[in-house]
Amino acid sequence: MSRIKELRASFDKKLDALEHQALAFEAQLTQTKDQAQQRLEQRKQQLRDLLKQVQSDVQKSKEMAEQAKTEVQAKLEHLQVQLALGKADARDTFEEQRTKILKALNEFEFIAEQKLKGAGFESGKIWEDLVGRTSRLEAEFEAIKDRFESEKAKQQVTLEWKKEELLTKLVLFKDQLNAKRVAVQAKADVIETDLRQGLDQIKAGVRKFFE
């Protein structure tokens, strides 16, 4: 299993991913659509900042062959171009942008783990940062997509009541997640399943809220 896949499969990173999703859905309920889109743009920028560091390290690397550097640079630049695209204001544009970014990210990760060599890469620190930042970006993508659905007219009182109910569930979920972080590692699979089921219920509620 590759280093990146190992990190994503670890218990801590799985819990981090669930927490990122919970925070992203919480933001969707407490922020305007413009604020939510700005939050997504910030996540894209954070990943771009890390990629600039990777690009600099690749250029300075003495362990990598020039051909390998060229291949990695090409994937890096393609991913950076996708991340630099402006805000999507329509659902079709958003979905297209999301698909292109995730595809470019997968292509970069695939070649990076094959070609990148040197102490900076082999220490795993860059991969930890990459997994963390992509997890946050994917969570924002997942949460904001429902904002592009056509919103049905609802009574404001009902809307606010439902929002408060969902926010309360999210607070309880985050408390539960933090408590289970300290649980015994042997119970990791059961804990993750329980948390994921709880988050799935909340996500379904958020989607219905924006229908």
Interhelix angle 11-30/188-209, rounded to 10 degrees, is 20
What are 66-78's pLDDT values in tens digits? 888 899 999 999 9
Query: Does some domain include residue 179?
Result: no
- Residue showing tokens 């819990």: 15
What are 27-56's pLDDT values in tens digits? 988 888 889 889 999 999 999 999 999 898
- Residue showing tokens 């890469």: 121
Global pTM exceeds 0.95: no
Q: Tell me the range of 11-20, 55-64, 118-127, 190-199 where mean pLDDT is highest.
A: 11-20
Given phi > 0 = left and psi -120 to 50 = alpha, else beta, which region is 104? alpha
Query: Does some domain include residue 181?
Result: no
In the chain, pLDDT over 90 holds for what percent of residues? 31
Query: Does some domain include residue 74?
Result: yes
Query: Does some domain include residue 46?
Result: yes
pLDDT of residue 117: 67
The b/e string for 171-187 (b: 16+ C-beta within 10 A; e otherwise) is: eebeebbeebeeeeeee
Query: Does some domain include residue 167?
Result: no
Number of domains the chain is built from: 1
pLDDT of residue 153: 42
pLDDT of residue 11: 86
Copy the structure tokens of residue 80. 């950076």
Residue 8 structural domain: 3-152
What is the domain-level CATH number for residue 141?
1.20.120
Query: Does some domain include residue 197?
Result: no
What are 134-186's pLDDT values in tens digits? 999 999 998 888 776 644 444 454 566 678 888 889 989 988 888 877 665 55
pLDDT at residue 6 is higher than 70: yes
Query: Does some domain include residue 175?
Result: no
Q: How far apart are CA 22 and CA 28, in angstroms?
A: 10
Q: Which residues contact 200 (CB under 8 A, 6 or more apart)?
A: none
